[in-house]
Amino acid sequence: MQEAPNHSHDPEPRSPSGGQGKIIGIDLGTTNSLVATVESGIPYVMADSSGHRLTPSVVHFSAEGAVLVGDSARRLRAVDPLHTLFSVKRFIGRRHAELGEEETGLPFTIIPGANGWAEIECSGRRFRPAEVSAEVLKKLKSEAERTLGHSVERAVITVPAYFNDAQRQATKEAGELAGLIVERVLNEPTAAALAYGLNRMTEHSRIAVYDLGGGTFDLSILELHDGVFQVLSTHGNTRLGGDDLDAAIRGFLVEEILRAGGPDVMIDPLLAARVLDAAESAKIKLSTMTETEVLLPFLTPQFSFSRVVLRTEVEALCLPLISRTREHCLRALSDAKLAREDLQQVILVGGQTRMPLVRRFVSDLFGCAEFDEERGSVRLGTGFHRSTGPLLNTSQNPDEAVALGAAIQAEILSGGFKDLLLLDVTPLSLGIETFGGLMNVLVPRNTTIPVKAGEMFTNAVDQQSSMLIQVFQGERERVQDNWSLGSFELEFQKGPRGTARVGIQFEIDASGILHVLARDTKTGLEKRVDLRSAVDVDDHAVQRMVEESVDHAFEDLRSRRWIEAKLKALETREATQKGLVEFGVELDLVTVERIERAIAAVDAALGEEAEGGGIGPLEKLQAAQQDLDQATQALADLMMDALSAALLERRGLI
């Protein structure tokens, strides 16, 4: 419940607490995992403290019990392969008897566990795959909390579309072990389609999602119905992915090492892991280069290996594996009772689709036109041509698409995106002025319309009789930097602070007109105003506003943090002073003096605020606020006891 401000001449709603109930989106991948969220209507992948957006799905368990996750664990894969677990997604929710020989050929040991489920033996312990995956999710959760600045308890986690119930349940269990409430287990192709913005396509559009990740492959055919994607068919292989490509390249390097007079590295797990890392690195480099040098110094004290590897050599090694996806693609089309000409787009997901070989293969398989982008009715390519097949859409980062889609789904579940059937989008965020002159966004930028969004507000001062609703559009934290769309006032019955209940709702219709409704829920009194179009904004003005929001992002964030801390401090100081008047005689002199010193420290910090509503010493104010909270614990107990006694007395219980 939000509050109106504490000045009666200009009553505005009070800003929300923020962050509560945030749902994040997670792509729990075989090779890498990502966590994403939506801010101001824009989905983005959150980076870790080192600036990396991809977290390797690698966990190292030391003999002493220490656990490392991500890049630090990945670096140990070549040094301590027996205690470094990777590609665990291949085994989650599967029985040991289902695993093929090629899947269990890893440095660590896969064993049958309870009821035949696959388990992993490492560092003298047995781990279920869900437990290992939970360590990855814990790290993603921690990084999300660091970025957002508040705790995160809810998530959407993606899985391949062909995952069975046991695999889905095991994935959900991994999330719960990581301290997350898994709101939804989302199919990866659906997430990818959301990230590509394909919900904006025309009704009954059909899309193929070609997803080749680190350990799995699937091809899904989706059809758009009323803004919702229906999976018509899916086919895939849980034992085909980038790991297999890496293994093929490693096999080639092993032979080259032997041919050069080197050792058989497959005998030694440490050397085998080093060569595997070199193979993966070469594959990645050859997606953008035509050749690269593989250097493996001191495989033995007397032997070092060096060789230039060509892209054509790697493509010859990988083509037989990539060709194995053809059967699944054709089966998926057949099951959907479609021909490739019936598709409007083919989208690429998964890091392996960066390889030029994969893109050529998919383009040939589906008869895609030789262009990468479509803008309006203009198709971009090397020359004039007409499309002879579906669009090969490579507009999104294939590593991040699934995570971004998960974040969008999470925002939908949070109520942020009200309607997926996109007729248009809001070019800038829409909100109201809140206490302290901050912008409280109700409809974020790029929200699909038509849409409804609202919040409940209350009065911040005793006997307040009206609330001024001022509507703004823009991306800045303070309303003075945004554009005013209009304002109106709603009257309500006077009463004690916190007793009014005023609901404010924004509705943008299919024509882009913003309708604002404010209703006093106690009396039913309401006002409705129609403002100008929320989408008819000059493109240059939108670009300028967005650029300004980026340029001033840190400054605006500091302003918001200062204002929020200031409001909290003022509220605490007022409550403390009232409490001292009423209960001060029941406190000892030392406690009273400590409280008065803490209040003085808060006032001193507030007094250093720059003139004209500027920024003050945030850390000093926060420290003073913390001291005041600690000093008033005894006073707070007395006030709570009195409140409880009054409540019981009103109920006739005492």
Domains defined along the chain, listed by start: 2-18+414-537 (2.60.34.10), 23-192 (3.30.420.40), 197-395 (3.30.420.40), 554-650 (1.20.1270.10)
Q: Which residue has the higher pLDDT, 110 or 63?
A: 110
Q: Tell me which H or E stretch contains 231.
A: strand 228-237
Q: DSSP letters of 110-170? A: EEE-GGGBEEEEETTEEE-HHHHHHHHHHHHHHHHHHHHTS---EEEEEE-TT--HHHHHH
Q: Quote the distance between the C-alpha of residue 57 and its chain's center.
A: 17
Distance, CA of 480 to CA of 563 (rounded, Å):
14
In DSSP notation, 354-378 reads GSHHHHHHHHHHHT--SEEEEETTE
- Give just the sign of the alpha carbon dihedral 538, 542, 543, 544: positive
DSSP run (H or E) holding 218: strand 217-225
CA distances from 27 to 21, 133, 149, 222, 400 (A): 20, 12, 21, 19, 8
| Per-residue pLDDT tens digits for 530-563 | 765 444 555 456 566 767 777 777 777 787 788 8
Residues annotated as catalytic are 27, 89, 188, 211
What pLDDT is attached to residue 424? 45
Q: Which residue has the higher pLDDT, 234 or 577?
A: 577
Q: Is 571 in a helix, a strand, or coil? A: helix
pLDDT at res. 574: 84
C-beta separation of 58 from 214 below 8 A: no
- Distance CA(143)–CA(365), nearest Å, equals 40
Residue-wise pLDDT for 303-312, tens only, equals 999 999 999 9
Residue 384's pLDDT is what? 43
pLDDT given at position 5: 40
Give the integer Cα–Cα distance in Å for 312 and 151.
49
Examine the pLDDT at 14 and tell me if it is beyond 60: no
Report CA-CA distances (Å) from 513 to 267, 424, 546.
Answer: 70, 12, 21
Q: Please calculate the CA angle 399-400-405 and round it to the nearest 5 degrees.
A: 135
Give the mean model confidence (pLDDT) for residues 175-192.
Answer: 90
pTM equals 0.58
Q: Is the bond preceding residue 390 a cis peptide, omega within 30 degrees?
A: no
Instruction: For residue 70, report the phi and psi dihedrals to the nearest 5 degrees.
Output: 90, -140
Strands ordered across the beta sheet of 2-3: 2-3, 451-458, 502-508, 513-520, 526-533
Q: At residue 196, does pLDDT exceed 70?
A: yes
- Which whole-number Å values give the CA distances from 193 to 197, 229, 231, 357, in the listed order? 6, 8, 11, 23
Report the pLDDT value the prediction gives residue 158, as an integer from 0 to 100: 93
- pLDDT tens, position by position, 489-545: 888 888 777 777 888 888 876 546 788 888 888 888 888 887 654 445 554 565 667
Q: What is the dihedral of CA 62, 63, 65, 69, to 10 degrees?
A: 10
Q: Mean of the pLDDT values across residues 324-333?
A: 92
d(C-alpha 567, C-alpha 359), whole Å:
55
Q: Reply yes or no on whether the pLDDT at 481 is more than 70.
A: yes
Q: State the Cα–Cα distance between residues 321 and 247, nearest whole angstrom.
A: 11
Task: Tell me the pLDDT of the chain averaged across its residues.
Answer: 82
Dihedral sign of CA atoms 91, 97, 101, 106 in order: positive
Burial letters 231-251, b for 16+ CB under 10 A, else e: bbbbbbbbbbbbbbbbbbbbe
Q: Are 505 and 516 in contact (CB under 8 A)?
A: yes
